[in-house]
Every structure is written in structure tokens, then in C-alpha cells.
Structure 1
Amino acid sequence: MLETSSEARKGHRARHRALRRTGWVLLGTALATASFAGIAFAGVSASMADSFAAAPRGSDAGVWPAARPVPEGRITVAVAVGNEGSVATDVLAPYQVFAESRDMFVYTVAAERRVSPLSGGAHLLPDHTLAEVADGTLPEPDVVVVPAVTDPTGAGEERLRRWIVERHHRGARILGVCAGSELLAASGLLDGRDATSFWSNITSLERSYPKVAWKRGLRYVEDGRVTTTAGVTSGTMGALRLVEELAGTAEATRIGTGLSYPGWTPDGPTAIPANHLALGDLPYAFNAAFPWLRPTTAIGLVDGVEEIDAAAAFEGYGGVSFATRTLVIGAGDTVTTRHGLVLVTRSAKGGAHGADRFVVPGVTNTSDLGSALDGWARRNGLAAELPGGGRRSGEFGFDPVLRDLAESSDRRTALATAKFSEYPSAHLELTGASWPWRSTLLAAAAVVVSVGVGLAPTAIRHTVRRRRPTA
């Protein structure tokens, strides 16, 4: 009996030790996981803060250009933006498409006429306010473009959601670009309709908005007077479709041919690959989660720059790729694009900003910069560069930036940027490194640190046990 009792006590102690070891392992694993998640969360937060950076100092006190008057007899397009932040290409690409039409007039509108951040470090001065349309100061728009905004379901965009629904009730067509469909879904405007969105959002949208029939693998979806598009650059094709319907096939063909979006033809197929997350997308995650030590790209803008050229630089170098930190530099406090959009910039009259490169989209020669930008480059010891050597004949504005991104960063980042912009990439000829080693090494370092944090409790326990006096 005594022997049996002794064996039972030994078994009990063995089970107790095993449970204790398991507890320490679980604690270490939890700490390691939490540590890695915390590092990555901090990195993503820093990346997003850079992408939707605060307006340049002093811009809130600027004397802004007056908005252009809205002419009579034209098809009117209002491009809505969120005051707290919008995706640059969702705003700028449809804006250029509609503004290229002789039959249309385009303006931007927000809850307040104050500087609004765009992804990639850019800033926009809206032309008008929601109230100016609602109270009849401006004519009712025939089309409202809705981009992705930083807080589509929040109280801060409640006025914008109500305003969009009211415009639709008054007869406007609605074009929701990329994740702009979430703002439309939150407004209730998509209930009972077919719709699409950015490919990586659709699963969560299906859970949050089950009354909407979400579609995958389509460049755009039309349901009545509401059109929604797939990710980022898809707004170009969605806008061309509305130009075709409102201004005619010939007008859409003229604009679309000039823009050279790969594969676009009037009434062409809308099917596109139904993308999914893959191992090849790791550069996107690494660049966003581990932004430390990345270079800084200064983007120089000149008056008359095409909106899509500017958007490609904002997204390619920062807003989608997260490959670099971006600074937007202009000759003065503002730059006016080819079709009248006002972008707020850091003035070239200012000092150095620690940039590693200076790229100037939308010009054919660096001699076209003007004295202010040229002087800024020389003071900062930089040579002005055209992205990818400049836009070639028959290229869409994203092509030269993606070529340059592959060369200056790596090919995998360029391809992931195209994928997350939902932009065709099969035609791209890319050279450069094969992988983003900076962010990958930082990710590996984060793993090492996190494992160390996870092992710390066990190491402390063993140290305490060794120092405990024995009887």
C-alpha cells in the first residue's frame, strides 16, 4: 500500500510539472505572438500616418484659389472626398476621365472646404462643400463619384453618406470606386443591389452587409443608377463606362484611347481575375508593417500635371506600395492640375526635408521643372528624375511608376502594388531586385525579438530557481 501511495504521489508531481511546463510554454507563446503583433501594428500605424499625413504647416491659414464657376449646359460630375482622408487614385483617376470630356464639368466636394489628405502623402483642396449643393447654390450633379475614405462607417462621414443618398434620390448616378462601396453600403444605398469592391474587402463586406449581392472578378458592376468598381485603378474604367452612357461611345473612345488603360475598349469585357491573398503578397505586408529605415521620395509637381500621373506617383511610391515615405513638393503652396484640381504642396521655397530621391511625374523633360523646383533639388543635393524614364507612347500613367518602383525597390513590390491597385501587370517589363530585403530583414528581426520576449519568463524562472538556496 505504501509503495502504491508513493507511486501515486510521484505521478501526481509529474503531472503537475508537466502542466506547469505547458503553462510556461503557453505564456511564452502568447507573449511572443503579442510582441510580434504589437511591432507589426506599430509599423502599420506609422505607415498609415505617413500615407495620410497632416497637411503642410500653415496650409490651414492659406488664401486659397477661388473655385471655378459651374457652367450651364454641361453634364456635371461631383467627386466627393472625405475631410479626414481619401484614396488618391479613387479621386484623381475618375476626375481626369470626366474632365477630359468636352460635354462634362467636374468639381470636388467635401463636408468642409479645408485641406483633405489623400493617400501617398498628397493633399487636396475641395472646390465646394456639400451644403452648397444641398441649398441650391450649385446645380444638382448628374454624377457623384464616391472614393474610398478612411472612416466610411464612422460618425464623421454621416453628412457625406446622407448627402450621397439625397443626390441619388434627386436623380444622380453614383459611381462607387474601390472601397468607396463600403461607404455606399453603410448608407443603405446598395441594399438589394449587385455590387463589387476591392477584392480583399469583399469577404468582410459580405459579412457586414448581407443585403448586398457582392460580385467578384468584375471590373465594375452596374445596377440601375449605381455603379461600383473593383480596386483603385478600376475607377478609370468605371468612369469611362459612364462617359460612354452619358456622352456617347465616340467620346468615351477618344478619352479611353488617350489614357491607354491596358485592355480597355468600349463595351469590352468586364471580367478580371478574382484575386486572392498569396505568398507573393508578403512584400505588401512587410512594407506596411515594417516601415523603419525606408527611404524618402520627394514627388515634385508642376502646374498642369495630369491627375493620373500624379496619382500614380502618390500610390506607387507610398500609398499602395508603402515602399518609401513620400513628400509632395510644389513651386508654391498649391499646384493646379491640368483640369483645375488644386493640390496643396510643401513649398519649394522651404528647406531640406531629408529626401533620398526627387521624382517628377507628368513632365517630358527635367528642364520643364521651373526655377523653384530646380533650385530645391540643387539645394538638397538631388537630381530630378522622371519615373521610369518618363511615360512612353501608349502607356497608362501607372506604367512608368511601376517600372521605376521595380528598379528602385524590387520587382515583387512592384507586382504587389499592381495587384493591390487591381491594375493589369502582364504587359509590364520590370527589372531590379527580386525581393524587398530591407522590410524582410526587419520582419526577421521582429521575429527574433518576439521569440526573445516569449522565452524571457522561462529564463527568469530558471535563473530564480538556480539562485534559490537549497536546504
Structure 2
Amino acid sequence: MRQLIWKTLLLFLLILSGASAAADIDRIHLPAVKAERVRPLVAIVADNVGTETTDLVVPYGVLKSADIADIVIVSAQAGTINRMPALAIESDMTMETFDKVYPAGADVLIVPAMHDNRSDVVINWVQEQARKRAFVTAICEGAWIVARAGILQGRGATTHWYAFHSIARQFPKTRWIRGRRYVVDHNIMTTTGVTASIPASLALVEAMAGCAKARATATELGIENWTSAHVSAPFRLTVGRAGLVARNYLAFWKHETLSIPITEGFDEIALALSADAWSRTYRSQAIAISGNNRVKSRHGLVLVPDKEKDTGYVELFFDQKAASSRFLDTTLEMIAARYGNETADLVALQLEYARGE
């Protein structure tokens, strides 16, 4: 009888500890801010050849909105950063300059998806920042860069649904996890598809400045929660979806260039979500237009417009007053009205976003 009581007690303690661990599993524990800094230094790394639009802009916009850290966009080379699938921006400094100005390295490093995820320059720099004790956040397929830097071995991680099986095959020493928007394992956070950048960025805000600050920032952006909860199963490429891609792509006579008018102080998150979505229909490409050759966003991001005004392209509606995060829902509704619900669903699939969330 006594043995049965002890076994029951042990089982209860195991269940309790498991529940406690589950509650804390995606909690970020940031290292102390490096010496002589008043607040964290966040570096967002970018490759000039091509860096995913939303992966870069959303963390920048969310952290800038919270105003709790110093944010620096760091590029491999001087000059414009071309973003995928749309827009172009200027970086704040090159990797070489960053290393001179901040020899101790970043406190937090954000790694978006990049066109060339085998760039030795980028991979080596990410590896060096991790060695200098930066908390590393890989957004979407930025996981390829982080994995190739060797810092995911033995860790739990996730990535965009489309790359999941490929990256798992190439890096079997990482525990690849489905069903979570973001995964935190010690000093590394990885996320699922493009739109996971929003809850992941708010999780960083909470880690830096507490839940109240994260809640206030989320409310400003129109976000209800930033938990890691995520249903992965619906995100997959079916025969029907592949057929739609082919039909939209091959109907080249129906392809359109759509212009988004930009003025000084534009909302960078809203623009990124809109341009990103419209450029994934396989029927349209979004471009930014302005009367100036450089335009600053609400929080200081420098955009390089594609064209000056009066291009003759179809002009898209861009409401600067709409809540940043909700702009994606508005854009998907506009895509559905223009190209049909199937195409809007295809765009949401690529962004790993459940319409109506």
C-alpha cells in the first residue's frame, strides 16, 4: 500500500513538473544587456541581394513601436537591400561598420529569410554574433542561415511549412517541431511562416520590457494575443493549389503591376504586409511609388520607391490609419475581390496565415 502511495505521488509530481515546463517552454530568457548599454541593441541582418519583406519589416516596426531597444538594420554590403517579393530599403550600416561600432556584438540578432541562404558572409557573421552571446531569432526560412551557422544542433526549432521537411532532412541533429508559431530553446527562437514574425516580435517585447508593455504594443497594432499556439496541418501544397499557381502564372496576359502610393511617415508594417501579399498572387507585382527618391516610414525605415508617381499602373488603396496587423486581412479581402477566393487563400498559405484569425 505504501509503495502504491509513493508511485501515485511520484506520478503526480511528474505531471505537475511537465505542466510547469509546458507553460514555460516558449518563454524567452534574455541575457543581461551588455556593458555600458542602457537598453538592448537589436541587429536585424539582411543580404542586399534579397531579404524577405515582412520577415525584416515586422520585427523592426513592432520593436520600434514599443520603443524599448535600439534597432539597427545591418547589411552584408553598402547600398540598397532588395526585398522579396517586393520593395527596397536602405540599411543603417554594413556588417563591417557594425563590428567596429559595437565590438561586443548585438544583444538580440534577428535573421529573416534570404534569397541566398548559403551566403558565407551572412552565415559567418550570424555565427560570430551567436558566439558573442546574442539571443538569435530566425524568422521563417531564416532558419536555414541559423542552421548552417551550426547553432541549431541539439536544439528544438521550427520553420516555414514549405521548407520543413527539406531542412529536417539536411539537419537531423535539430529537433524540428510542428504545431507551434515559434519555438524557444535556450538562446534561440525560430518561427514558422512569414506572419509568425508578429507574435514572435511581441514575445521579444515581453522578454525585454514585461507583459504590460507587450500588451500595450499589441493593442496599438491590433493584436489580441501573441502565444505560440498554431495549427500546422492545413498548411500544405495540394494538387489543386499547385494547379492554381500554374494557371495564374501562365496566364501572363492577365498579369498586373499594382502601385502603392507612399508618403512620409507611412506605416512600415502595413506596407510590408500589403506589398508582400499582392506580390504572391502569381498574377500581380506590387511596387511603391512616391514623388521622392527616398521616403522615411513612421519609425525611420528608409524606403527606396520603385517608381515616381503617375506611372499609369493600377493604384492600390492604402489606408494609413488602419491597424497595422489588420491590414493583411483587408489586403486578402481585396485580393479575393480582384482575383477570387482561391487566390487569396493561396497567398495566405504562402504567408502561413489562417484567414480570419
Aligned pairs (5 A) from 1:71-470: 73-137=38-102, 140-153=105-118, 157-261=119-223, 264-265=225-226, 268-274=227-233, 275-282=235-242, 283-288=244-249, 291-318=252-279, 320-348=280-308, 353-355=311-313, 357-364=314-321, 391=322, 396-427=326-357
**Unpaired stretches in structure 2, ≥5 consecutive residues:** 1-35
How far is the alpha carbon of 1:347 from its aligned partner?
4.6
Secondary structure in 1 aligned to 2:261? strand
How far is the alpha carbon of 1:215 from its aligned partner?
1.2
How far is the alpha carbon of 1:346 from its aligned partner?
3.3
How far is the alpha carbon of 1:289 from its aligned partner?
5.6
Deviations 1:229-288 (A, max 9, x none): 000010111111111112111111111122224x524xx352323322224523345434
| Contact 2:329–2:356 (Cα < 8 Å) also in 1 | no
TM-score of the pair, normalised by structure 1: 0.64
Write the distance in 2 (CA, Å) between the matches of 1:272 and 1:243: 24
Secondary structure in 1 aligned to 2:79? coil
Structure with the higher fraction of residues in helix conformation: 1
Deviations 1:422-451 (A, max 9, x none): 112145xxxxxxxxxxxxxxxxxxxxxxxx
| Contact 2:157–2:175 (Cα < 8 Å) also in 1 | yes
Distance 1:301 1:72, change over 3 A: farther
Write the distance in 1 (CA, Å) between the matches of 2:319 and 2:105: 33
How far is the alpha carbon of 1:213 from its aligned partner?
1.3
Secondary structure in 2 aligned to 1:299? strand
| Contact 1:113–1:129 (Cα < 8 Å) also in 2 | yes
Distance 1:78 1:290, change over 3 A: farther
TM-score of the pair, normalised by structure 2: 0.83
Q: Where does structure 1 differ by over 6 angstroms across 4 or more consecutive aligned residues?
A: none
Q: Which amino acid aligns with 1:361?
A: F
Aligned residues between the structures: 320
Secondary structure in 2 aligned to 1:244? helix
Secondary structure in 2 aligned to 1:326? strand
**Unpaired stretches in structure 1, ≥5 consecutive residues:** 1-70, 365-390, 428-471
Distance 1:286 1:198, change over 3 A: farther
Q: Which amino acid aligns with 2:293?
A: D
Write the distance in 1 (CA, Å) between the matches of 2:208 and 2:285: 40
How far is the alpha carbon of 1:103 from its aligned partner?
1.6
How far is the alpha carbon of 1:142 from its aligned partner?
1.3
How far is the alpha carbon of 1:195 from its aligned partner?
0.7
Q: Which amino acid aligns with 2:272?
A: A
Secondary structure in 2 aligned to 1:174? strand
Aligned-residue RMSD, C-alpha: 2.1
